[in-house]
Structure 1
Amino acid sequence: MNPARPPPAVLQTPGFAHYSVAWSPFHNSRIALASAANFGLVGNGRLHMVSLIPGVGGSSAVKLDKQYETQDGIYDVAWSEIHENQLVTGSGDGTLKLWDILLNDFPIRSWHEHSREVFSVDWSNIKKDTFASSSWDGNVKLWTPELPRSVTTLHAHLSCVYQALFSPHQPDILATCSTDGTMKIFDLRSPAYATGPATNSFTHPLSNAVLTVPASGTELLSLDWNKYRPFVLATTGVDKMVKVWDCRMIQSANLSAQTIGGVCEVQLPGHEYAVRKVQWSPHHPDILATASYDMTCRIWSSNPSAGGSSLLQVHDPHTEFAAGCSWSLYDEGLIASWCYSRNTRVCQDIIEDDPEDIMSASLHTLYDYAPISHSTPGSIFTYTIKRNGGNSALRQITLQVPDTQASNWSLHASSIWQASLHIADHIEYLQLDRFSDRKVLRVLELGASAGLPSIMIARTTPNAVVVASDYPDENLIRTLSDNVRRNHASERCWTVPYAWGNDTSPLLMPAQQNPEGSTLFDIIVAADTLWNPETHVQFINTLCMCLNHTPDARVHLVAGLHTGRYTLQSFMNAVVMHKLQVERVVEREVMDGVQRPWDVTRAESEDERERRKWVVWMVLRWA
């Protein structure tokens, strides 16, 4: 029996049938939805940008942020792996379009090389500047966003290629499935064309596959790579079967030869009509989801317990053909399904914990990845205080995470960043007790987002007057102000909208209510504000205009290494040009508190897993 779960969040788009959904690899609540009018048979297309937000009674809701119109139906969509605000779509007129969601109305680039409908697009998560498209013309093409033409064409099949996917394990391996019932695996380093009596390089220049799997006697509609087991794939098609294939034989195969084979490990019957989509879970090696024309989505286990069923769950609220399903990359158990009845549903298959706790635990436990941000836009985040200074009664700080306007998504202000938590965990490193003999200690936080450090300082430092500022986004500032009030910090903490580099008088106005001494700030704090080199000059100018001209005035900047070592070093180089100096800079391990000197050359040897473990704490003073 399925466990109880909250109702799904539903998005309806009248007049447009849904063909594909893609979760952002950068933001766990951002979704792109590809759709087409008249069930994709004829007419326009529409790209919807959607956010998953908290709903009533603890459930989720879906909010439509913006949409883009196209002249032909959109059949698939994939997010860029190198630019958080860009994505690519494939259309029925054979075109691919690159979109930037911070812009309105039109794509920023368009390509038209396919002679038939583009039915799938996939962005490589390893070779992040490359994406692939497949078409009814039998071809697969590889692209980079910067070039006006494709970089490679694979004449993969003699008929429609329904899907082409890069391996998540090896950058030059790609799999395809087709109406001819075969799944093919290509090594992009191998010879371009097949040879032999069955091929004709002039009229049908078929590319050489390193492995061809005769997976079905009917059309093969979908495939997916297992995220944990290299060369294990799942396929589905018109035969209503879900099949799991072991294709490890190609690892030792002669790449110049065409190998035919593949071992079918598991067959999962149960769907009543063709199975349109299959996708492995990103969180479990043996869990996969399918969507079928029988109007159901199903969750399966490829390795059930002894005596257990492979079918774990059936989701059947759709009233038309279920066209697809897609797992959230971050929130374990969260899945979107869509159908031709013009609605998309986002539901949790099993909910036992807060989704954000699941996300953090799965990143760290499954991948040994320390999370760099926490919680989702609009959700409630509770911080438990580890060191409460002089306020022994303060145990927790409760924050709502800001949900900025769509035009300001690039601010990255809709999360609780690890750097902010690190400041709160180690508030004593600000050395605020050096100012205990003063009647008023003036503190400014730039880029405050939810305001955790500001609230922490205001509640635990008796003589502190705190200004929490961030970009003048209405939603952001309203949430920041609500957080200050919610945590009873309003008497000594003010929220001020401010864009870096502008007139600082709005920041100084609260200090004028306490006229003792200068209205400039003794301490300036900022968490994860250095990731964009284009704003460094404005940020430094703001520091110079706001920092008190006293020997003990300090700026404390904490940034995760996802910012980039070279970006951080360029900021430090720029600081000295503005009469400031770096007094101290150290690297601190998030989990264990290990500290080491700053070294920019580590950029050449550390990987993503290692970078996530560290934050950089930088202290500036007047030169």
Structure 2
Amino acid sequence: MATLTARISLKGDEPDGPEDYLSTSLGVIFPDDITNQHGDAEHSLIYASPKLPKTLLIELADPEGETDRRLFSHYLWNASLLLAEFIERDSLEATTEDEEKQDRGLGGDISFDTRGLHTLELGAGTALPSMMAGLLGAASVVVTDYPAPAVMKTLRENVARNIKPDLAPTGKSDLVTTSILVDGHEWGVFDNASASSPFPSSHAHLSDRLFVADCLWMPWQHENLRRSIGYFLKKTAEARAWVVAGFHTGRPKMAGFFDERALREEGGVEVERMWERDCDGVEREWDSEREDDITERKRWLVVCVLKRCEGMVDA
């Protein structure tokens, strides 16, 4: 099994500064260390999947001022890489008997198939999971992030460049969605629709699947994020929100998002399945109290599947 970061590489000039050389040599100095954020405004990213006929080119936003920089949407994070891989794996039919019998690990019978479903991504950053869903048969794709001009411009360009029939797997170009929307959304804010942009009210409770990749590092935004999940997720028993996040800012800062009462009261959702997975595909049970050192925690991600709470589903 290839490591999680094997599909991603930089496009651009070779590193030429002391900081650049140091960052690229960390894997030699510390062999257990792994890069959990990728790229910058000077280096585009190349995403290469063995299932796609061509590579995807991903540009990164150039932050305008400190406010934009603090969003950290000018990087591709490992959570997006993992969610994109899950979507690809389950949205493509197994081609061999071995693939049909592959070990699903702690995810068990959880499927990340997006074919025929309406998807929406919160805090998209580069929108890699959404681009994969759009290439592999999603009924519609909605991509959102904080409405900073630089972020939105880059998102729109990435989505337009990469959700195209010639980038779909061979023989599946007819699955590529033509229903695509990229719009700004500040978590927890739902009353800013206008005549020119009716979003978000036009998409209330319309999404079969929500993508939430590496959005848990700001504890002060957990309530707003839970509210946005509750607002956009369909009120059906089949609707799911997929939350994948790294521990790079420390487990305690992100673990509070999964408070059972808060999820129910603010989002109307509950945990269906939750586990941890590292960059090499090793899995373990979720443990909110586990202590990780700085190097180890960069290797791990939490994967959580949220569903509508019982009693909060429309008949």
TM class by smaller structure: 0.7 to 0.9
1:577 to 229, 245, 265: 265
1:457 deviation in Å?
Answer: 0.7
1:396 to 40, 55, 63: 55
Aligned counterpart, 1:601: 289
Aligned counterpart, 1:456: 132
- Which amino acid is the alignment partner of residue 551 of structure 1? A
Normalized against structure 1, the TM-score is what?
A: 0.39
Check conservation: 1:443, 1:524, Cα contact below 8 A. Answer: yes
Q: Give runs of aligned pairs for residues 277-292 of structure 1, distance below 5 A.
A: none
Check conservation: 2:190, 2:201, Cα contact below 8 A. Answer: no
RMSD between superposed Cα atoms in Å: 2.6
Aligned counterpart, 2:104: none
- Which amino acid is the alignment partner of residue 120 of structure 2? L
Distance 2:41 2:68 in 1: 13
CA change 1:395–1:431 in 2 (3 A) is farther
Structure 2 unaligned regions, length at least 5: 1-10, 91-109, 165-176, 192-197, 310-315
Structure 1 unaligned regions, length at least 5: 1-53, 62-325, 334-358, 512-517
Distance 2:48 2:14 in 1: 24
1:424 to 84, 90, 95: 84
1:622 deviation in Å?
Answer: 1.2
CA change 1:519–1:549 in 2 (3 A) is closer
- Deviation digits for residues 269-308 of structure 1, max 9, x if unmatched? xxxxxxxxxxxxxxxxxxxxxxxxxxxxxxxxxxxxxxxx
1:58 deviation in Å?
Answer: 4.7
1:477 maps onto 2:170 in alignment: no
State the SS of the aligned residue for 1:486.
Answer: helix
1:588 to 270, 274, 277: 277
Distance 1:58 1:395 in 2: 21
Distance 1:378 1:456 in 2: 24
Distance 2:149 2:13 in 1: 24
State the SS of the aligned residue for 1:506.
Answer: coil
Aligned counterpart, 1:376: 40
Normalized against structure 2, the TM-score is what?
A: 0.74
Q: Give runs of aligned pairs for residues 549-564 of structure 1, distance below 5 A.
A: 549-564=235-250
1:589 deviation in Å?
Answer: 0.9
2:181 to 487, 494, 500: 494
Distance 2:209 2:70 in 1: 27
1:465 maps onto 2:154 in alignment: no
Check conservation: 1:378, 1:400, Cα contact below 8 A. Answer: no
CA change 1:327–1:444 in 2 (3 A) is same
1:332 maps onto 2:45 in alignment: no
CA change 1:508–1:397 in 2 (3 A) is farther
Check conservation: 2:273, 2:305, Cα contact below 8 A. Answer: yes
1:564 deviation in Å?
Answer: 2.3
Which structure has the larger Rg? 1
Specify which structure has the higher proportion of strand: 1
CA change 1:365–1:576 in 2 (3 A) is farther
Check conservation: 1:525, 1:556, Cα contact below 8 A. Answer: yes
CA change 1:544–1:385 in 2 (3 A) is same
Q: How many residues of Structure 1 are paired with residues of Structure 2 in the alignment?
A: 256
Q: Give runs of aligned pairs for residues 303-342 of structure 1, distance below 5 A.
A: 327-328=18-19, 331-332=20-21
Q: Give runs of aligned pairs for residues 187-336 of structure 1, distance below 5 A.
A: 327-328=18-19, 331-332=20-21
Specify which structure has the higher proportion of helix: 2
CA change 1:537–1:384 in 2 (3 A) is same
